[in-house]
Chains A and B, each alone.
Chain A
Amino acid sequence: MTLAPPLNPPSALRRIINVMRLHLVNKSVYIGIPWMIVAGALAVSVIITLLLRYVSGETEFPGMAYSWAVVSPLWYLIAAGVLAISTTLPFALGFSITRTDFYLGTSLLFVTVSAANALAMATLVEIEQATGGWWIGTIMFSALWFGGQTWIVNVLGFLVIQLFIFFVGALFAAVYLRWRVMGSVLLWFGVAAAIIGAVTIIVLTDSWVSVVGWLTTQTTAALLGWLAVPVALAALAGYFIVRRATPKN
């Protein structure tokens, strides 16, 4: 005779939330460090503004709109996305978490963190513009295209960019855990082949003009919207790859 399992698991939703809590148990990884980077970038931007004011005597610095400081935390988040799978999944399996629960919980984390950051960053764009660049003409959050968009477009823009970084990073880590080095190499070759293939088709069909023409007709919001397509594909692919991944040591 066989016995029924004595302990019942919490509900699926509870289990998924617990996975997100596991990622957030050390708050510095997804909250502390990214915001320290933002604070550091703002400090540097302010110092540069003050130097410019002192040196040039001017009070407006449109050139700062080309600063990439606004995206500085994103580089760090790429690593966070990779590590969320590559080291936390093997650990989670040791805590008897199923791969399915782990992936769904990790996805919930990505969406939650991205959404919170997006709301904050888009709001900082508004504050920066309302205060005339923190009262000294600094352009950091409203740099690149972020200055010319509405708050909601900026929220969605930050959101989709972060999700792209998280899910693509997680996909690469998942491929490594499932198929090791060979799989990773093939994935890189696949990405390279897809890009070269696309360029080749454009060149052979002599359609550069129409491609560029199409791109210029797209608004920034629309281009960001297109980014949601690879995000969805990476998230879906990651799910099926993680479900059969077998971390080794």
Chain B
Amino acid sequence: MTAIIEARNLTKTFGSTTAVDSVSFTIEENRIYGLLGRNGAGKTTIMQLLTGQDFATSGDVAVYGQSPVENAHVLQNISFIKESQKYPDAFQVRHVLASAPWFFTNWDQSFADTLLGEFRVPLKRDIKKLSRGQLSALGVIVGLASRAPITFFDEPYLGLDAVSRQLFYDRLLEDFAAHPRTVILSTHLIDEVSNLLEHVIVIDEGHIIIDSSADDLRGSAVTIVGKSVDVAAFVEGREVIHRDGIGGLSTVTITGQLSAADRQAATAAGLELAPVSLQQLIVRLSVLEDAATEGVLS
């Protein structure tokens, strides 16, 4: 695996607010990354720093070993689709699609045309008159058809209906298989994309709290369901990240892998073992992180 993006101690402050606080991470070639986190966690700011759209307060970004800032050699390889993309006032959809090939070397017009039909975006409509969903669809179409070696999607699905979102995931995966590239997707809908993601980076309040392969992460926790007494005995000495209970029953999520012996013991004790969804896991860990930073838990 080859690293194509490296961030070192990357920091961005706006006045007294620290949006990104000394984060370091590496993005490897031809994988699909999820950049996850709550609203205002710093996802968009990180993407803007990686694409040279904003300037870091301190720290370094290297894309292909170079700074992306005002660097046409780097930017030629990047497509950055953001939820809040602005368009010139007088533009219609066709103007966006007509000019895209001048700027994206790998632009595939027939793919764009197909997507346009599938997402039902009218070619001759003023951008200002598009619905929120159509506007998002236009971004998705440009992001997919540009086939840039590094493609960023910053919450690309706002206003997209479930059918269109599924269409986006399907087309992304198909096109990724045919034309491998690096995709960095920021999203709230973690469960929807969890099968897509190969690597997950979770940001909270400008810090990275998780940077892990999606498979490792999925296997890193398990939920135990059963009688409170039995569950309590089983989780004794393990790291508990969530507890829930009703009457005499408990649902407890613990981190760490269970050995075969653990599993046998659990079954013998009449406990049920359930996998933890990526979304649940991230929510649990984010809450835990919040509590830790606020000193409620230690």
The answer to the question of A83 belonging to the interface, with a C-beta cut-off of 8 Å to chain B, is yes
**B102 engages A22 (CB within 8 Å):** yes
The answer to the question of A29 belonging to the interface, with a C-beta cut-off of 8 Å to chain B, is yes
- Decide yes or no: A7 and B76 within 8 Å by CB, A2-B3, A2-B4, A246-B55 being known contacts: yes
CB distance from A81 to the nearest CB of B (A): 13
**A6 engages B90 (CB within 8 Å):** no
**B29 engages A3 (CB within 8 Å):** yes
**B86 engages A90 (CB within 8 Å):** yes
CB distance from B156 to the nearest CB of A (A): 12
For the complex, what is the distance from the CA of A64 to the CA of B103, rounded to whole Å? 49
**A9 engages B55 (CB within 8 Å):** no
For the complex, what is the distance from the CA of A88 to the CA of B2, rounded to whole Å? 35
**A100 engages B70 (CB within 8 Å):** yes
For the complex, what is the distance from the CA of A24 to the CA of B90, rounded to whole Å? 11
Q: For chain A, give the interface size range.
A: 35 or more
For the complex, what is the distance from the CA of A244 to the CA of B6, rounded to whole Å? 23
B140-166 vs A, CB cutoff 8 Å, 1 = contact: the mask equals 000000001100000000000000000
The answer to the question of B212 belonging to the interface, with a C-beta cut-off of 8 Å to chain A, is no
When distances are taken between beta carbons in the complex, the residues of chain A under 8 Å from B86 are 87, 90-91, 94, 247, 249
Q: Which of B55, B82, B100, B105 contacts A95 (CB 8 A)?
A: B100
When distances are taken between beta carbons in the complex, the residues of chain B under 8 Å from A94 are 80-82, 85-86
For the complex, what is the distance from the CA of A160 to the CA of B102, rounded to whole Å? 30
Within 8 A of B (CB), among A1-58: 1-9, 12, 15, 18, 21-22, 25-26, 28-29
When distances are taken between beta carbons in the complex, the residues of chain B under 8 Å from A128 are none
Within 8 A of A (CB), among B65-99: 65-66, 70-82, 84-92, 95, 98-99
Within 8 A of B (CB), among A209-233: none
The answer to the question of B9 belonging to the interface, with a C-beta cut-off of 8 Å to chain A, is no
Q: Which of A2, A21, A88 contacts B102 (CB 8 A)?
A: A21
A4 to B, closest residue via Cβ: B64
**B87 engages A96 (CB within 8 Å):** no
- Decide yes or no: A18 and B102 within 8 Å by CB, A5-B73, A97-B75 being known contacts: yes
The answer to the question of B106 belonging to the interface, with a C-beta cut-off of 8 Å to chain A, is yes
For the complex, what is the distance from the CA of A9 to the CA of B136, rounded to whole Å? 27
When distances are taken between beta carbons in the complex, the residues of chain A under 8 Å from B6 are 2
**B91 engages A96 (CB within 8 Å):** no
**A3 engages B85 (CB within 8 Å):** no
**A26 engages B64 (CB within 8 Å):** no
When distances are taken between beta carbons in the complex, the residues of chain A under 8 Å from B85 are 90-91, 94
**B88 engages A5 (CB within 8 Å):** no
For the complex, what is the distance from the CA of A246 to the CA of B19, rounded to whole Å? 15
B53 to A, closest residue via Cβ: A93
The answer to the question of A67 belonging to the interface, with a C-beta cut-off of 8 Å to chain B, is no
For the complex, what is the distance from the CA of A144 to the CA of B47, rounded to whole Å? 53
A87 to B, closest residue via Cβ: B88
**A25 engages B4 (CB within 8 Å):** no
For the complex, what is the distance from the CA of A249 to the CA of B88, rounded to whole Å? 13
When distances are taken between beta carbons in the complex, the residues of chain B under 8 Å from A90 are 85-86
B105 to A, closest residue via Cβ: A7
Within 8 A of B (CB), among A89-112: 90-91, 93-101
Q: Which of A9, A12, A99 contacts B76 (CB 8 A)?
A: A9
CB distance from B54 to the nearest CB of A (A): 5
CB distance from A95 to the nearest CB of B (A): 4
Q: Which of A22, A244, A249 contacts B84 (CB 8 A)?
A: A249
When distances are taken between beta carbons in the complex, the residues of chain A under 8 Å from B54 are 246
Within 8 A of A (CB), among B167-214: none
CB distance from A133 to the nearest CB of B (A): 34
| Interface-centre pick from B66, B71, B75 (highest chain A CB count, 10 A) | B75
B4 to A, closest residue via Cβ: A3
The answer to the question of B253 belonging to the interface, with a C-beta cut-off of 8 Å to chain A, is no
**B91 engages A26 (CB within 8 Å):** yes
- Decide yes or no: A1 and B99 within 8 Å by CB, A6-B77, A15-B72, A247-B86 being known contacts: no
B17-29 vs A, CB cutoff 8 Å, 1 = contact: the mask equals 0000000000001
**B87 engages A3 (CB within 8 Å):** no
B44 to A, closest residue via Cβ: A249
Q: Which of A25, A244, A249 contacts B99 (CB 8 A)?
A: A25
When distances are taken between beta carbons in the complex, the residues of chain B under 8 Å from A18 are 102-103
Question: Chain A residues in contact with chain B, CB under 8 A?
Answer: 1-9, 12, 15, 18, 21-22, 25-26, 28-29, 83, 87-88, 90-91, 93-101, 243-244, 246-247, 249
Can you list 13 A-B contacts (CB < 8 A)? Answer: A4-B64, A5-B63, A7-B105, A7-B149, A9-B73, A26-B95, A90-B86, A91-B85, A96-B148, A99-B70, A246-B55, A247-B53, A249-B84
In addition to A1-B2, A6-B77, A29-B88, 7 A-B residue pairs with Cβ atoms within 8 Å of each other are: A4-B64, A9-B73, A22-B99, A26-B90, A96-B80, A96-B104, A98-B72
